Amino acid sequence: MTHNDPSQELAHIRGLMERSTRFLSLSGLSGVVAGVVALFGATLARFHINDALTPDADFLTYGLERGYSPLHDLRVTLIMDAGLVLFMALLGAFWFTWRRSRRTGQHLWDSSARRLVVNMLVPLGVGGLFCLALFYYGLPGLVAPATLIFYGLALFNASKYTLDEIRWLGMSELALGIVAMFWLEAGLLFWAIGFGVLHIFYGGLMYLRYERGTEQNA
Amino acid sequence: MIEQLNKAFESRVRLGVMAVLVVNDWVDHARLKELLGVTDGNLASHLSALEELKYVQVRKRFVGKRPNTSYKSSVTGAKAFRTHLEAIERLIPRP
């Protein structure tokens, strides 16, 4: 073993360093499912907002300070919408990534997966609480841009521990979030682009790059 | 130039162990075995060789009731690995 081909040797070392630090079993299909769910969720939210909105309501508060009866409170409906979307998206993401990890032989819950989840959950959790505070103070118009920004930061942060596409997805979410911050009337549209279209786009890209063709050896 | 290639890293397993350890904090035996695809005995003998050279630090503790041994690269080990890597890189003919 003394005189291996040096470039092969280097490739072997790099591969090990990569595999030991990054979670590479993330499935692109997870992103596609999350994107489709998000588009449904955004459409649902659009109807709810249209129902509740009075013609003179502004796009920052949606007229929420006027005090709707608690049962028909738009806030409750929107938070329920969001919760449902989150649950469905996570379920889909988990299923496809689990399926893929069985194929790649990488454990689903190894140290690289744990690192990915922790680095993702800290910014995301803070963002979630921040959005609840926005609702609490009657500023739902800022929620869509804020979710994009915190999600973008979470992805950007976690991308060190997984596929490179996640870094680009994160930066795209951040750019959208910043534009949405100054264009509140289109907040939901930007949200649908960020969580729907971008997920489908990057998820599809990841699927085509890494997974297509590996399906048969399940 | 050839002299800078470290004899300790002639084994692919030892080189692999160091590659994993320099980019990770404590890594346990089972994880190393999984990443390198080697047997317990083989891995253990290479790890003790690295330990003797003071290239790795060893930590033994209990996780629940099971003993768990983890490894981490020492400063000397990381330096030796980097020098070795640079030496390999210099062996590659430039196009």
Query: Tokens 């502004």 — which residue?
Result: A58
Task: Please state whether beta strands B66-73 and B56-63 pair in parallel, antiparallel, or not at all (unpaired).
Answer: antiparallel
> pLDDT tens, A72-118?
577 888 888 999 999 999 999 999 999 998 887 777 887 788 889 99
> pLDDT tens, A112-132?
888 899 999 999 999 999 999
Query: Tokens 């997920």 — which residue?
Result: A199
| Domain tally, chain B | 1
> pLDDT tens, B32-51?
998 898 999 999 999 999 99
Q: Is B63 exposed, middle or buried (0-12, 13-18, 19+ CB in 10 A)?
A: exposed
Which whole-number Å values give the CA distances from A70 to A44, A61, A81, in the listed order?
20, 16, 16
Range of the domain at B49: 2-91
**Does the pLDDT at position A69 exceed 60?**
no
CA A158 to chain centre: 11
> pLDDT tens, A29-51?
999 999 999 999 999 998 888 87
Query: Using CB atoms, which residue from B10, B11, B20 is nearest to A20?
Result: B20
| N-term to C-term CA, chain A | 33
Distance from CA of A2 to the nearest CA of B (A): 6
- Please list, in sequence order, all residues whose beta carbon lies within 8 angstroms of the beta carbon of residue A53, skipping any fewer than 6 positions away: A62, A63
> pLDDT tens, A157-187?
999 999 999 999 999 999 999 999 999 989 9
What's the pLDDT band for A59 if we cut at 50, 70, 90? confident
Q: In terms of pLDDT, which residue wins out, B5 or A135?
A: A135
> Which H/E stretch holds residue B90?
helix B75-91
**Does the pLDDT at position A215 exceed 70?**
no
Closest to A155 (Cα-Cα) out of A202, A193, A111: A202
Percent of chain B with pLDDT over 70: 95
With CB atoms and an 8 Å threshold, state whether B15 touches A1: no
Residue B15: list chain A partners with CB under 8 A: 9, 13
CATH number of the domain encompassing residue B33:
1.10.10.10
**Does the pLDDT at position B93 exceed 90?**
no
For chain A, domain boundaries: 27-212
**Interface probe with B: pick from A3, A14, A17, most Cβ of B within 10 Å:** A17
Which residues from B are below 8 Å from A when comparing CB atoms? 10-12, 15-16, 19-20, 22-24, 27, 31, 34-36, 85, 88-89, 91-92
With CB atoms and an 8 Å threshold, state whether B89 touches A6: yes
Percent of chain A with pLDDT over 70: 90
**Does the pLDDT at position A2 exceed 60?**
no
Retrieve residue B82's tokens: 């980097």
What's the pLDDT band for A217 if we cut at 50, 70, 90? very low
Q: Identify the pLDDT of residue B2.
A: 58
ipTM of the complex, rounded to two decimals: 0.83
| N-term to C-term CA, chain B | 19
> Which H/E stretch holds residue B69?
strand B66-73
> Which H/E stretch holds residue B60?
strand B56-63
